[in-house]
Amino acid sequence: MQLRNLAHRLSAALEQDWHTKARPQQLPPVGSWGIWLQQGGRGSGKTWSGSHWVGEQAASPTARIALVGATAADVRDTMIEGVSGILTTSPEWNRPEYQPSRRLLQWPNGAQALSFSADEPERLRGPNFSSAWCDELCAWRYPQAAWDNLMLALRIGKNPQCTVTTTPKPTKLLRELIAREGQDVVISRCSTFDNAANLAPTFLSAIVSRYEHTRLGRQELYAELLEDVPGALWQRDWIEETRVDCAPDPQRIVIGVDPATSTSEGSDLTGIVVAALGKDGHAYVLDDLSGKYQPHEWAAKAIAAYHQHNADRIIAEVNQGGAMVESTIRVIDPKVPFKGVHASRGKVTRAEPVAALYEQKRIHHVGSFSELEDQLCSFTSDFDRSRAGYSPDRLDALCWALTELMLGKTQRPINFAALASHTGPIEIVGSRCDSACAAWPPLWCR
């Protein structure tokens, strides 16, 4: 009986041992290293590998582990509670207790892990860690600030280590890590198809039919690091060279919206981009809130952004929805300033002058917007929606916002002397004129 119980326990232990089930690329490198970069396609098993590696680090009672994801929700839903997260992959006898209010995982032996959002890089100041797991590095909003603060916090033990699990995108930080391969960085690469045995056949067939032999498929499925698209209107270097962590006090802020024309499962995204005009004459992209929404959802999202950023107005394309676009917004907030714009020219014609502003280094991204930047840097003058398989809704929303801020009619100063003899209200369109109203009360502005 005792031998049978022992055999059963050994069998269970082997079943739970990730070293016996992992592919070679999913196992930690041998030898001395500081950063293990796991560059993998969607569904390639990189999260599963990362969570098991954390469990192995937690075998030491003194382990203090940092868990850093793109957002707090990503850390919770993917790294901790996800189907390949730490709670799921930990054996029952060594499953940590999760305390969400403290952002803490506590193992039975005393090891601990703290969760952090890359949206709040300053939170990484203060704590000390012996190891760290960074997930989807290329989707971080403030990658450099969060990474630098994390590296300065890795100072417990003789050899603090960090693993990074990400689908590759040509961001500045990822390029720098790849350039350090063979020094303190070790890289393992795996594709979606390497993990085919653990993926639903319907998922595989769907992504193969849609993305096989496409540029996006090379990145998202085969984990290739792709550089600029030949002939693209935007270049990544333009964005990287002008990226900032914060924007100066704005003169104007607008919300650009490109509404989806349908609400079916395969419908386009609704593009929602927040942009500001600084006193330096440059524009600053503050946020990308694009997503797949029902009409009342995207309207609520745009209005919330309007109030959050104390914006001047919402700019939305009305080619497809016409008056319905404005009425959808008015149902939620009848008083929000709204301007409908008509796409009388093609996307390329609208995009070219905006891309020229980027080339002139007059546009700055406040933080990183990976999906928006991917769309910009893959948009060419011969863009074909049917061939690409998507509509560049984020790009469209950005162009509407920046056109309003940077390419509209030049605002001339108000000549109050010329108005001295005028009676009645005067309408000033498209001007931020708080001071004007104070100096000349009859002015009515919108």
> Which tens digits make up the pLDDT trace of 275-285?
999 999 999 99
Q: What is the mean pLDDT of the chain?
A: 85
pLDDT 10s digits, 430-442: 433 433 333 334 4
The CATH architecture one would assign to domain 236-406 is 2-Layer Sandwich (3.30)
Q: What is the pLDDT of residue 446?
A: 34
Please give the average per-residue pLDDT across 87-106, as a whole number: 95
DSSP H helices in 180-322 = 201-211, 215-220, 236-242, 295-308
pLDDT at 419: 44
Cβ neighbours of residue 102 closer than 8 Å, sequence gap 6 or more: none
d(CA 9, CA 93): 12
Q: pLDDT tens, 172-206?
A: 999 999 999 999 999 999 988 888 888 888 888 88
Cα separations in angstroms, 82 against 47, 85, 92: 9, 4, 16
**3-class secondary structure for 340-357?**
EECCCCCHHHHHHHHHHH
Using DSSP, state whether 361 is helix, strand or coil: coil
145-179 residue pLDDT tens: 999 999 999 999 999 999 999 999 888 999 999 99
Is 272 in contact with 255 (CB distance < 8 Å)? yes
In terms of pLDDT, which residue wins out, 62 or 9?
A: 62
Given a contact cutoff of 8 angstroms between Cβ atoms, the answer to whether 239 and 233 are in contact is: no
Please state the domain extents for the chain. Answer: 12-220, 236-406, 414-446
Per the DSSP assignment, residues forming a β-bridge with 68 are 116, 134
Residue 275 DSSP symbol: E
pLDDT confidence tier of residue 264, bands split at 50, 70 and 90: low
Q: Domain 12-220 adopts which CATH fold?
A: Rossmann fold (3.40.50)
Total-model pTM = 0.75
**pLDDT reading at 112 higher than 60:** yes
Joined tokens for residue 151: 């590296």
Enter the tokens of residue 33: 């290293």
Of the CA atoms within 13 Å of residue 259, those in its CB half-sphere come to: 31
3-class secondary-structure state, position 137 = helix
* Cβ contact 427:440 at 8 Å: no
Query: Strand 185-190 vs strand 250-258: parallel, antiparallel, or unpaired?
Result: unpaired
Question: What residues pair up with 129 in beta bridges, in sequence order?
Answer: 154
Closest Cα to residue 381, out of 359, 352, 344? 352
Report the pLDDT value the prediction gives residue 16, as an integer from 0 to 100: 58
